[in-house]
Structure 1
């Protein structure tokens, strides 16, 4: 007798448990192995009292695999009767309403995926005192984990059921479930990269680093969940999505025809959406691929989109019709319509109609601004609550400034870039031509929104605009992370390849930090864009209360830091660590002449190869003269090959080499005479 009041059938539920109980058994054993058993297993017996902020940190990814595969498989198994004609006819011939069938199977599946989770949680709670000091976690962590896994398991199971109702084949149900669960994440990545190709100033690097894209897909998040546990609001979203897919399942199940078993898609009005979705994904993948590998050449790029459209259309038609015989008279027109509409969909967002590229906010709309190359680090979400992960020096630091001169300078550069749109050197010319500054421009607006752009700015031609920005205190404070000099530290390390000086006295540390901060704030535009080789590195160790490891942030001591260098000399530290001519056995110098290699540009990456050719042509000079070596140390630049410069190889006394650059004007008369 049908239990109409209870809305389910006990006999059917018992049959499901007898037939598919093995799913719950596998889930139980897997979770026990991945969670409580892991507390007794470690490859390093010296580890103890490890702080566990989430039980998702246990199991090395096994939990994610189980939480995804088992609930989705339960949906495949319990609703397989929908995809086989004989089973569908038999099940729907029973004296049960469709609501009873669906509720009975849903209830069976939910029990199969819930009981293992809470059984595992109970075992973990019971065995926790027996783990000794190996792991440190509380009972709250156990129940938090159990609730999160329960919500995810139910959602994935119900989603698999919903997909099964919409499809007519078990294999397609499984594939479609995985694809649809990862589709939002993949589409966001593909569309974001597509915008970066065709929207000048689109901040692709910032969006990919600052936005937690894993939130768009439970699959991606589950496989990275050891780094970032699920938050309450995320679980609430999954609860809401579960309610939606269950409601849609009831609605569609009532309308589904039994004879659709074995068909690809059970509802024909989903065919256009399926076809358009497959074509769009294929077009984005192929177009982006050819654009990357063919250096953005238009013929190959548009050819990639065309190939993607053809492949996507053919695949979707073959799936829908269940045959590769898809040609008929309507195909060309149908393909043309889909291609035109999707091309329009892709074109409109990157066209000039949107005004995206020319948009520069008025000064009255701006409250604060940021300009620099580190914005993605400042906005990157914490990847972990793990206390053993290093602290980020950019965390909880506001890089914005409300200085009006700074805002106007950033506006001017932004306006100039939006009009001129300078071409950025690539390939060989990138190494030959000068310098390019990566510049992220972010405005905080009066309406509470932000406007973000990202540009590669050639130094040549934009000196006035860059100078106005880079010589402001607001730019230097964020670009050189001066916030780290505000921390109270017990030690500071000043190091070169010749040695290390450790400052331990608080008075010395505070004096050094104040000098270093002032030197950075006093840097000129030329100091910042120059290629001066740092004379030493400063490492500041920082320990945070919620972290069990020490993190470091490093600053460079440049030749222009005269007050700081004098302070080191007065303290006697320079003699201990600074590199002088006595530390270098010899230097080898050769003029950079591009023509001699006849098209071989590998020397851009391998300076030793260039010097080897120069030796064969008797164009290199080796000197051990200490005065000449001192001149090299005084004028050396970072190794960035440019025409009209000299490649210098410094051979240290310990046998190790270092490659630097010298400008022609910096050569001493003696070296010029020898190099003729």
Structure 2
């Protein structure tokens, strides 16, 4: 009995309930309004798709996320608020109660105040769910237990995290701010550091990091957990449990070590002050570098300026916060900043001079098992569909490696072209090595400059069959194929192919055209004739969701054009020369292309010389190579359609005929 009494104090728990019981009441009322009442509100709507709500987290999710990441933090702050006040901390610790006993008693109080409302809400929600016919068959008792477990775990983790942070600082306001800063710090740090490395290291890629970022923040992970019957994996739940236990333990350790007179100090432990100061400095520095890299088009003068200003602001603010005064211009202020600057400059020079041989590193042929070359988002999509995107063709591997070797040799040229608007290819290269590791690099390659090395890679079957559109065409559950013409006034002219025989024929000719593309066709910026939307058959539990994929009908797809013509679809499937009344051509001086211009029409308006094109041969050339998406061209065009609509775009210089150039002189 004596050991039990020393473990916690009933009097402390009762006092917490009297003083902070309103937290539990607020939490309960909020949960009741959010979940059971939310279910009743949804069911009362005139039109509702019950299958949209796959789990209880999808009922008023925005309100739920606020509750689970605000109420536990507030509870941790209020229950231990006495340690942040000089008068109350002395009074409480003058009692004959050990710190361990006080800590455990307050933790028990907080857990009871937070968990009881969850259980009461779950009981009421169970009965409400069973009274609504639409939900009773979808939201099962196992879903409710899953909700109880996840919400209880999140609540306990945020409560323990708030408590642990509270012992680091001596101010309640700082405790609340630090709790949320540290909650997002891992994802913020990884994002900013990898972004900076992407322009510091040639070939560095953030692929695979992007998809894992949400797991670094419980907040963002919860936002992404609304979909699916099992929002969290078993591994995630185990990690969250370990973190919760760790925060409770570290909170107890910090409480025992903390000096009582540290109340009102921003950082209560002296050894944490340098970590805080230089951590703030580093975060502010990379934020400044990131900002000026984006606004200054990766101009190194601006990037260095951003690093310096960011570091100076962060260091100054951190010093003011720690000293709680603006009078910080002392010797240690300058020496500390100089030491930090020297260390950072050394690290930056080490990265830029590639001391670790990251940029020039290239695996040998005998080390490579398989390779992928293409777009990183295409690769991620294939992996999500359980498609292995790698090729083990030795000739293809050699071609990709030859291209990669040339990229390394042309590093300076590629970096000099990174801000230009010339047509580029995303060169995402991933080698799967024989030792099981992966070697990944990413580049933006000027298409014309690297055409010799890109041709054997991008015209090979190993590259084309790993395009997502090729994979989608192999599916056997195609329901129909709709063709949406590109151009003004033609969005309603939809051609639908639903006959099974025609779908199979059209799929084959489309596949044939994709496989036969030259590199010029693949990288061409020309606006497609139309978009081909492929709709797939839906399973019963997805009957309300669109399942489809869109493929460009490129102007180089001659077999598709021929098939549509033979089946009587071609006339309404695209805008071609027969739909054009005339075209007005103009020359645009690149110096007149302001940064705030975004549309071809705005560029066209700056043209000085104009010519009206009416001959069929020139109009055919214009519509064939017409593009809406480029801002690096000299010749801009306004197509005047027979239906009165106007269509603005541009033409690459190499497709301008002598006749058209002569007319616009």
Contiguous gaps of at least 5 residues in structure 2: none
* Residue 513 of structure 1: aligned partner: 507
Match of 2:26 in 1: 26
Find the counterpart in structure 1 of residue 533 from structure 2: 539
Work out whether residues 200 and 351 of structure 2, in 8 Å CA contact, stay in contact via their aligned partners in 1. no
Q: TM (normalized to structure 1)?
A: 0.89
The total of aligned residue pairs comes to 652
Structure 1 contact 162–249 (Cα < 8 Å) conserved: yes
TM superposition shift of 1:582: 3.5
Distance (whole Å) between structure 1 residues aligned to residue 605 and residue 300 of structure 2 = 40
Alignment correspondent of 1:175? 177
- CA-to-aligned-CA distance 1:211-254 (integer Å, 9 cap, x gap): 23121112333344435733322221111112212222222222
Aligned 1:15-414 pairs, distance under 5 A? 15-42=15-42, 44-133=45-134, 136-204=138-206, 206-207=207-208, 209=210, 211-227=211-227, 229-344=231-346, 348=350, 351-373=353-375, 375-379=376-380, 395-414=385-404
Over the aligned positions, Cα root-mean-square deviation in angstroms equals: 2.8
Question: Aligned equivalents of 1:458 and 1:324: distance in 2?
Answer: 51
Cα distance in 2 for residues equivalent to 1:543 and 1:360: 45
Counterpart selection for 1:653 from 632, 635, 642: 642
User: Displacement of 1:513 after TM fit?
Assistant: 1.0
Give secondary structure in 2 for the equivalent of 1:182. helix
Partner Cα distance (1:219, 1:18) in 2: 31
Deviation at 1:659, TM superposition (A): 2.9
Determine the structure 1 residue equivalent to 2:551: 555
Contact 2:203 2:441 in 1 (8 A): yes
- Paired with 1:651 and 1:357, the residues of 2 have a C-alpha distance of 50
- Distance in 1, Cα, partners of 2:84 & 2:334: 32
Tell me how far apart the structure 1 counterparts of residues 272 and 25 of structure 2 sit (CA, whole Å): 36
Q: Give the TM-score taking structure 2 as reference length.
A: 0.90
Distance change in 2, residues 1:223/1:611 (3 Å): closer
Please report how far the alpha carbon of residue 259 of structure 1 lies from its aligned counterpart in structure 2 after TM superposition.
Answer: 1.7
Quote the Cα distance in structure 1 between the aligned partners of 2:313 and 2:662: 66
Q: 2:588·2:635 contact (CA, 8 Å) conserved in 1?
A: no
SS of residue in 1 equivalent to 2:69: helix
Give distance in 1, aligned partners of 2:632 and 2:14: 78
- Please list every run of 5 or more consecutive structure 1 residues that lacks an aligned counterpart in the other structure: 381-391
User: Contact between 1:117 and 1:150, CA under 8 Å: does it hold in 2?
Assistant: yes
Cα distance in 2 for residues equivalent to 1:632 and 1:299: 42
Indicate conservation of the 8 Å contact 1:288/1:301, yes or no.
yes
Equivalent residues of 1:603, 1:610 under 8 A apart: no
Match of 1:470 in 2: 458
1:110-134 Cα shifts (integer Å, max 9, x gaps): 1111111111111111210223326
For the structure 1 residues 52 and 640, does the alpha-carbon distance in structure 2 shift closer, same or farther, using more than 3 Å as the test? closer
SS state of the match for residue 536, structure 2?
strand
The DSSP-based 3-state class of the residue aligned with 1:585 is strand
Alpha-carbon distance between aligned partners in 2 of 1:13 and 1:603, rounded to the nearest angstrom? 63
- Residue 316 of structure 2: SS of its match in structure 1? helix
Tell me what 1:594 maps to.
589
Specify whether residues 478 and 222 from structure 1 end up closer, same or farther in structure 2 by C-alpha distance, changes over 3 A only. Answer: same
Q: Please show how residues 407-422 of structure 1 align to structure 2 within 5 Å.
A: 407-421=397-411, 422=413
Structure 2: how far apart are the matches of 1:232 and 1:587? 63
Deviations 1:505-545 (A, max 9, x none): 21221121112112111112222233444333322112443
Q: 2:182 & 2:653 partners in 1: Cα distance? A: 61
